[in-house]
Chains A and B, each alone.
Chain A
Amino acid sequence: MDTELILRVYPFFIEAAWVTIQLSVLTAALGLACGALGAAARLSRLAIFRWIAATYVSVIRGTPALIQVFILYFGGPQVGIQLDSFAAGTIALGVNIGAYMTETIRGAIVSVDKGQTEAARTLGMSRWQTMRKVVLPQAARLMIRPLGVNINALIKGTALVAPISVVELTYTAQRFIGSTYKPFEMFLLSGLLYMVIIYVVGQGIHWLDRRARIT
């Protein structure tokens, strides 16, 4: 273990970890937005919305995220979408995780007991009121934990922007492996930072989940 080398290069990894955190936050926000929209469309009364959302989920989950990143970043300019690598990576990964979150959110909504909806409708609430005041508050609690699983995968998934040269943790590790020939040290350094990020986020989700359970 070359500790002297680690001490010399670690500031680059801290900086890279910050980029990974920014990527994770933006991707999660975009993913949640896509997931909420997707779930609403999946549960819509209009067949066309259901069909669009089902196709979105099936196509995104049926193809590799890396290819999706490449299509947007390298193929985008051909159809007039010119994005820098950070923006292209964030959008591609956000749309990708959104497909998984669509299924998570939909799953939580449909697992709320049907009697709740029936009772609310019998009491004269509209479909929208029932959803907003009865179903969603209960579903929100159910979806915290599975969304946490999605977010854990998303944080590790941000490594996929390394091949399009976003200077985040994996790209930095790769670059230093190439220049120092010390793969184990670089792996441990970047791996440790990933685990710290995942641990902190995991604790946050655990806290949210517990709070949701008490009330």
Chain B
Amino acid sequence: MGLDFSVVPGFFGVLLMGAGWTVAITVCAGLLSFFGGIVFAVVALYGHWSLRWPFRGFAFLFMGTPLLLQLFLIYFGLIQIGIDLPAFVAGVIGLGLHFAVYNSELIQASILAVDKGQYEGARTLGLSRGQTLRKVVIPQAVRAVVPPMGNNMIALLKDSALVSVIGVMELTLAAQQAISRTYRPFEFYLAAAFCYYIVNLALEAGLRRLERRIAASR
């Protein structure tokens, strides 16, 4: 059959739109995983046992099973209990929760590593427990954890390809659409891989800048 890359430019718009959706999913799921990770970390460390134990079970299950399996659970599970979400939303929730659990592990360790004197100082100055966490401990803990959390964001970008399996329109599904019209899988998956690579390079460059800025502000 051979290769013929001349068919690719005709689908440039389709791939570009797919890449746009991939970026949108990564940003939405990334934000969810960031804030979800902070909430999970606080629950795991300071929550009432009735919250802490279910969360531990949830985290254990989510860290020990494949993301793809979790996406199936969320997509079909929500339909079963009568919540019919658009695939995009289900995909963002699945990716976001998965990486929130991983981010929460990082943030927990980082919160525990914040100097105890910081906590005591804030409490002595009259801040409440919640205020101390929100204004003193968490900002420091999150800063320290930016580089490893950046790695999670890069993993999230690549794993966003998995939501194509539950029918979310993004780069991988866009490539599949082009393939179903042209029967040229090699060319279009390679083109999609190229787009992912470019987005990945941009994300890495952005993260490096962020790390430098945080290092400078210390």
Are B64 and A173 neighbours in the complex by a CB distance under 8 Å?
no
Q: Which of A144-201 contact B (CB under 8 A)?
A: 156-160, 162-163, 169-170, 173-174, 177, 181-184, 187, 190-191, 194-195, 198-199
Whether B162 contacts A156 by the Cβ 8 Å rule is: no
Which residues of A in the span 56-114 have a Cβ within 8 Å of any Cβ on B?
59, 62-68, 70-71, 74-79
A177: contacting residue among B72, B165, B190, B201, CB under 8 A: B72
Interface residues on chain B, size class: 35 or more
Kindly list chain B residues whose C-beta atoms are within 8 Å of the C-beta of A65.
Answer: 158
Contact, CB under 8 Å: B197 / A183: no
A181, B161: Cβ atoms closer than 8 Å: no
Contacts of A184 on B, CB cut-off 8 Å? 73, 77, 80
Q: Bound complex: CA of A67 vs CA of B193, how far in Å?
A: 7
Tell me which residues across on chain A come within 8 A of B61, comparing CB atoms. 191, 195
Interface of B is mostly: helix
Total number of A residues with any Cβ neighbor in B under 8 Å: 39
Closest B residue by C-beta to A67: B193
When the two chains form the complex, which single residue of B3, B60, B80 contacts A79, counting CB atoms closer than 8 Å? B3
Q: A74-B179, A74-B185 are in contact. Are A173 and B69 (CB under 8 A)?
A: yes
* Pair B80/A75 contact, Cβ less than 8 Å: no
Interface residues of A (CB under 8 A from B): 59, 62-68, 70-71, 74-79, 156-160, 162-163, 169-170, 173-174, 177, 181-184, 187, 190-191, 194-195, 198-199
Which 8 interchain pairs have the tightest Cβ spacing?
A75-B186, A159-B66, A74-B185, A64-B161, A195-B64, A183-B76, A187-B73, A183-B77
Show 11 residue pairs from A and B whose CB-CB distance is below 8 angstroms, ordered by the A residue.
A62-B200, A67-B175, A67-B192, A75-B187, A75-B189, A76-B186, A169-B69, A170-B72, A173-B69, A191-B65, A194-B66
